[in-house]
Amino acid sequence: MERILRNSEAPEIIPCDFSSPLLFYPIRHHSPVCSFQLVRTIEEYKPDIVLIEGPENANGLIPVLTDENTTLPAAFYYFYKDTKKLVSDDAKDYKCYYPFVYSSPEYNALVSAKKLNIPAKFIDLPYCEILIATAENNGLRKNSDKHSYADDSYLVQNRFYEKICEKTGLRSFEEFWEKYFETAGIFLTPQQFIKQMHTYCRFTRDDVSQEEMIADGTSARENHMAVRIIEAMQEYRRVLVVTGGFHCIGLYNLVNSGKKIKSPRLHKMPETHHGCFPMAYSYEAADALHGYSSGMSFPYFYDCAMKKLLESNSPEGVYNGITLDFLVRTQKEAVKKDIAVSIADITSAHTLMNGLAALRNAKECGISELFDGVISTFIKGERTVSTSIPLDILSKLATGDKIGAIGDKSHVPPLITDFEKNCKKLNIKYETAVPKNIENALFTSAKGMETSRFLHRMDFLGTGFAKMLKGPDLHKNKDRSRVREEWKYRRTPNVDACLIDHTTDGFTIEEACSSVAARKLMSERRCETAAQISVDCFLMGIPMQQAELAQIEDILINDGDFFSVGRGMHSFEILYSLQNLYGFEDKSSLAHLTRCFDKLVSSLPSMANTPPERGEECITVMKYMYGIVGNILSERLDDFRQALITMSEAPAKEPSVFGAAMGILYSIEPERRDDAENAMKGYLRGSPEIKKQGAEYLKGLFGTARDIVLIDDRFLRMTDELVQSMDYEDFLEILPSLRLSFSCFTPNEIQSTAEIIAGMYNSDGGDITDMPAVDERLFFFGEKLDREIFALMGKEDMLE
Amino acid sequence: MEQKSIKPPVEVRYADELAALKAADTGKKPENWILSPKAVRTFIIGGKIKTPEGNIDISRKFYGNDALVERCIITLAGSRGLMLVGEPGTAKTMLSELLSAACCGTSTNTVQGTAGTTEDMIKYSWNYALLLSKGPCREALVPSPLLIGMEKGIFARFEEITRTPAEIQDSLISVMSDQILNIPELGDEGLVLARPGFNIIGTANTRDKGVNEMSGALKRRFNFETVEPVKDVRLEKEIIIREAQNLAAAGHIDMPIDTDAAELLAVTYHELREGVTSEGTIVEKPSAVMSTAEAVSVFYQTISHAWYYGDGKTDLKILTENLLGAVCKENKDDLEKLKAYFRTAVKEKSSKVGGTWKEYSETAKLLK
């Protein structure tokens, strides 16, 4: 930077001579002015071939992009699987997009070449070679989940423009670009424009060191592009090279150096390891504001400008017209949202915009003036989140919410075709990037279930297309009584990218899901997770094949974790009981359920001495088992009872698990009540430490047989005796267990229990409930304390 | 003999700059403006102008959002009024003074809105002695700043408009819509038509929101600009130093400005206003106004104390005491918040940075 500032003269720039056999045309991605002047340049220069910056392995897809049925935004999606570890030892998968909108100079170059019937080619290294030539954390290997080939970061994130902004009083690169290039550039001749671009880009290049360009692959790429240019010059008379402005000077120097250029050696790659697909893209993703640092912000606005520029005979008034158009659209949308914005406000905003353009010496109003106009006149009062809605509306309008489409479907990956076919069939709006909500009745029509299955499939593939907001959650066994699902869905380029990634998994979404489920099962060893995959398949309506069923069987046999098998059994039970309702015949769930049950029965006695911290989980599994023998596997009741008896006779027992076993045994054979009572008496007569275990015993007992309390007051008296025998400190210690013991009772049962206890102390309960009111401040303090504890627990992920 | 004043109006303070801008101004001017919009912008946000004698530097007077200044200027050249809203101490009044002085040559044509502002103060009133002796005539009329603005084609400034009852505010509607003020007592001569160049700059404090909410009809006649507090701590420090220097010069206080103390204050105000420290620690925001203007006031008090009672050096203990007085004046909870800020943020900086922060941290015991 200092070097640039010290120079009093502008450095040498590339000559712009339309009579020369080679012409370098510098661009900024998605810039209408670059496109507009490029179209004029092609008309005037009349090249024999157009060479464009872009990975050359997409050359075969150029006709797909320029197909008249293709609607932009669209993108080329490049992927590379580094199984050969040519990029790094991590053997990672890589992907990136090369987006095109109507204002993209590359697209306009391709279309112009098609019109003139001359060849157009991409000349950059294939995507995988760029990755190989790039150092870690540089260029396309930066740590980001968003990679765009069309990266303008050198143009927009350089220190040179910061100095210019400082000098000219502009706020950002975008404002600088709009004022000096976008709106002013359309009034220049192509030669003047090219010269101006070269000058700016030359300065930005001076701010980047050779080491940086080697690290991010620029040097290797430019070498390769230079070789391709020289090859083209040997074949064609007039060659037009369209590349990012940053590369022009590098390419110019290489081509004119007269030296032999060392281009990187291209590796032989199997076709399954790298490739390129055309895909629909969204304006939102093409917006530079969303983190790709490629192209321009507000792509839809600039696309509209580009269309107007191509339609009009003169660029005069194009930006004034388009800004007014967006102003009116913003007003209309604001009115729809009940925001009072009148025609007078439009007039006032328009006057203000023109005044600002004049004050800023801009030729016409641009997007900055448009935003300023809306800020001043549409926002009534202080600018806050709620009053800034007109600004949000304008942002959305200018960004655009449309999604493109690929005309020639023969190049579209089959999964995307199937996705679109399903969406069309189920009336799911997939041609917009605007999030949509859908309420889906599951059981009233076949379409409802089909929609649910399709959305579950998209979710299972990890596309991010749909997210269920409400509805039965069979994975967690929650909200099973719901008969409707509410989904939020949205198509983004990531959805397409993810579907492309699954191309090898099948030709349809269903096949892909089936393959993914099978693959997941193959690497699974836990019954619990295998059962969850079964739930996924159930929700997706995809029957498991024999091989997967055998795999589940194998997992069940080999999983030695009692709790994992218990939870897995519960999932299979859910599937078994819901198969009729969901219209999904699943014969395997009963077999899996039985297998799990048998396994649990055999290991139940050994769970008597479960560690205290896992007592609750053990009780839950025992309850699942009791539920199953009472309903589905009644013939196994006796086995279960026997296992419980063996368990209760074990010498060392976890009190809560023991209590639960006694409770279930009492439920099976009510005559065992005395056994349960005697066990409790045993705890009462024990040492203080044993007494404390009585509370745990009650927790387990009441959890599985709460009616034992309600028949008479004997257990309540024993509980009372337990509490009476404790000193204050010990009481506090057992209090959590005691509270949990009573948590399974309904409010009515708690009321009647309280009345029994009050009776034991010769009270009618009134003198207890009519206690003096709590001090209001204390109450609020308690509430505040509660909130803070919950907030803290939430932060620490201690809340479910 | 030259009359001294505590705070000369903007047009007097910057008379040289205004004259230089006027002389060099070749831009188009709205009718009755003394400078073109471009020159007004240069006057407010600073820059260089070329004169036959060479380049002249125009100082920057308003820091922050330059685009906001541009929008204000263009709004005033149009048919709508300009309403500046924002937190107290964000230089709304200063901006309106600068705009008035640069566009009309005067910044003193002002109505101060209060709960006691009446329609007479906004439109016109009478000199009752003359009224009784001569009857309703022009001579007996006492014009309000609004009427003066209409007659001369200059701006009328309406400060703290939302402190004024809503029905009184609404008396502006007809003036702003029709650009006419009718004085029925004067008969046929009572119709005052606004001259070109007339406009209204209002200011409203967002802390007063809801006190006297402006009617929708009145809001429609204004373009609103929200003036945000300074977001950059370095800039805030510069403003504190510059303003304190100006105040010190006006008060004949001749001592060097302690830039480290200014930085402590700028950081303290910034972090308490944003509710988060530069280290990412969350701190509770006091309910008191934590504006740059308040920080300047605290700093100037500290300088004055050092000049009159001390040894001419800024004492951090006095700075903390003044800070206490400025922060804890409305709500007793603010004291606890300030203490907590010293316990966490200042202490953390004291151990990390040391130096003046350590000294500053030690003054925490004065917070009571």
Percent with pLDDT over 90 in chain A: 21
- The radius of gyration computed from the CA coordinates of chain A, to the nearest angstrom, equals 36
* Report field, pTM of the whole predicted structure over 0.95: no
Between positions 299 and 328 of B, the ones with CB within 8 A of A are none
Flag whether pLDDT at B220 surpasses 70.
yes
> Considering only CA atoms, which of A327, A439, A408, A339 is closest in space to residue A380?
A339
For chain A, say whether B194 makes contact (Cβ under 8 Å): no
Give the length of chain A: 800
A340–B216 CB contact, under 8 Å: yes
Residues 6+ apart with CB under 8 A from A420: A430
Pairwise CA distance, residues B56 & B48, whole Å: 6
Q: Is the pLDDT of residue B285 over 70?
A: yes
pLDDT confidence bin for A619, thresholds 50/70/90: very high
pLDDT for res A1? 41
Mean pLDDT of A316-326: 90
Q: How confident is the model at residue B210 (pLDDT cuts 50, 70, 90)?
A: low
Q: CA A111 to CA A116: how far, in whole Å?
A: 9
Judge: A356–B74 Cβ closer than 8 Å, yes or no: yes
* Token duo for residue A413: 């990956």
**pLDDT confidence tier of residue A148, bands split at 50, 70 and 90:** low
Which stretch, A169-173, A644-648, B51-55, has highest mean pLDDT? A644-648
Tokens of A470: 């409400």
So what's the pLDDT on residue A373? Answer: 92
With contacts defined as CB-CB under 8 Å, which chain B residues touch A388?
Answer: none
Structural contact between residues B327 and B298, judged by C-beta atoms closer than 8 angstroms: no
Q: Measuring CA to CA, which residue among A479, A478, A426 is closest to residue A457?
A: A426
CA distance B309 to chain A (A): 43
What string of DSSP letters covers A33-97? HHHHHHHHHHHHH--SEEEEEEEGGGGGGHHHHH-TT-BSSEEEEEEEE-TT-SS-TT--EEEEE
Res A152: pLDDT: 61
| Model pLDDT for residues B313-334, shown as the tens digit of each residue | 888 888 888 888 888 877 777 8
Q: Which residue has the higher pLDDT, A46 or B283?
A: A46
- State how far the Cα of B347 lies from the Cα of B359, in Å rounded to an integer: 10
| Closest residue, chain A, to B85 (C-alpha) | A382
Tokens of A393: 């509306």
Tally the C-alpha atoms within 13 A of residue A650's C-alpha that lie toward its C-beta: 22
Q: Which of A331, A382, A387 best tests the B interface by mutation, with the highest count of B CBs <10 A?
A: A382
Instruction: Look at residue A80 in the predicted model and tell me its pLDDT.
Output: 83
- Among A352, A368, A380, beta carbon nearest to B224: A380
Averaged pLDDT score across all residues of chain B: 86
Q: Is the pLDDT of residue B3 over 60?
A: no
Distance (Å, rounded) from C-alpha A62 to C-alpha A77?
A: 13
Q: Using pLDDT thresholds of 50, 70 and 90, give the confidence band for residue A536.
A: very high
pLDDT of residue A2: 44
B-contacting residues in A 354-373 (Cβ below 8 Å): 355-356, 358-360, 368, 372
> What is the mean predicted confidence (pLDDT) over A255-282?
80
- Chain B residues 198-227 with a CB less than 8 Å from chain A: 206, 209, 214, 216, 219-220, 223-226
CB contact under 8 A, B224 and A382: yes
* Residues across chain B: 368
Query: Which amino acid would we find at residue A2?
Result: E
Bridge partners (DSSP) listed for residue A402: A432
DSSP character string of B320-365: HHHHHHHHTTS-THHHHHHHHHIIIIIHHHHHHT-THHHHHHHGGG
Q: What is the pLDDT of residue A641?
A: 92
* B78 contacts A352? CB cut-off 8 A: yes
Of the partner residues B67, B77, B80, the one whose CB lies closest to the CB of residue A171: B67
- Confidence class for position B71, pLDDT limits 50, 70, 90: very high
Are the beta carbons of A359 and B37 separated by less than 8 Å? yes
Q: What is the mean pLDDT of residues A752-770?
A: 77
Task: Report the pLDDT averaged over residues A610-631.
Answer: 90
Give whole-number Cα distances, A201 to A36, A160, A194, B182, in Å. 19, 10, 10, 62
Using a CB-CB cut-off of 8 Å, the residues of chain A touching B217 are: none
A695 pLDDT more than 60? yes
Is residue A414 reached through a cis peptide bond, with omega within 30 degrees of 0 on the bond before it? Answer: no
Q: Tell whether the model's pLDDT for residue A258 goes beyond 90.
A: no
Residues 66-85 of B with CB under 8 A from A: 66-67, 70-71, 73-75, 77-80, 85
Residues A66-89 have pLDDT tens digits of 888 888 888 888 888 877 788 778
Give the model's pLDDT for residue A720. Answer: 86
Cross-chain CB nearest to B219 (options A376, A380, A383): A380
A376 touches chain B (CB under 8 A): yes
Q: Summarize pLDDT for A635-687 with one digit per residue, the tens.
A: 989 999 999 999 888 888 899 999 999 999 998 988 888 888 888 888 877 78
pLDDT given for residue A289 in this prediction: 46
- For residue A10, pLDDT over 60 is answered with no
pLDDT, position B1: 42
Determine, for residues B224 and A340 on separate chains, whether the beta-carbon distance falls below 8 Å: no
Overall average pLDDT of the B55-64 stretch: 86
> Residue B75's pLDDT band (boundaries 50, 70, 90)?
very high
* A163-170: long-range pairs with CB below 8 Å, 24+: A163/A1, A163/A5, A169/B45, A169/B47, A169/B66
Chain-chain contact of B224 with A368 (C-beta, under 8 angstroms): no
pLDDT for the residue numbered A562? 92
Mutation target to probe the A interface, by most A beta carbons within 10 A, among B71, B161, B205 is: B71
Task: Give B63's contacts in chain A (Cβ within 8 Å).
Answer: none
- A463-470's contacts with Cβ under 8 Å and 24+ in sequence apart are A463/A494, A463/A495, A463/A498, A463/A499, A464/A492, A464/A494, A464/A495, A464/A498, A465/A489, A465/A490, A465/A491, A465/A495, A469/A437
Kindly report the nearest CA distance between residue B206 and chain A, in angstroms. 7
pLDDT digits (tens, 9 = 90+) for A377-434: 888 877 877 788 898 999 889 988 888 888 877 777 888 888 988 998 999 988 877 8
pLDDT-based confidence at residue A499 (cuts at 50, 70, 90): confident
Among candidates A344, A355, A372 on the partner chain, residue whose Cβ is nearest the Cβ of B77: A355
Report pLDDT for A292: 43
pLDDT at A800 over 60: no
Q: Does B52 touch chain A (CB under 8 A)?
A: no
Residue A594: pLDDT band by 50, 70, 90 thresholds?
very high
Which residue of chain B has the CA closest to A383? B226
Question: CB distance A344–B220 less than 8 Å?
Answer: yes
B219 to chain A, closest Cα gap in Å: 6
Mutate to test the interface with B, among A376, A378, A788 (most CBs of B within 10 A): A376
Between CA A531 and CA A537 the distance in angstroms is 10
Q: Which residues of A touch B70 (CB under 8 A)?
A: 356, 359-360, 372
Exposed/middle/buried for A590, CB within 10 Å: 0-12, 13-18, 19+?
A: middle
* Percent of chain A at pLDDT exceeding 70: 92
Neighboring chain B residues of A340 at a CB cutoff of 8 Å: 216, 220
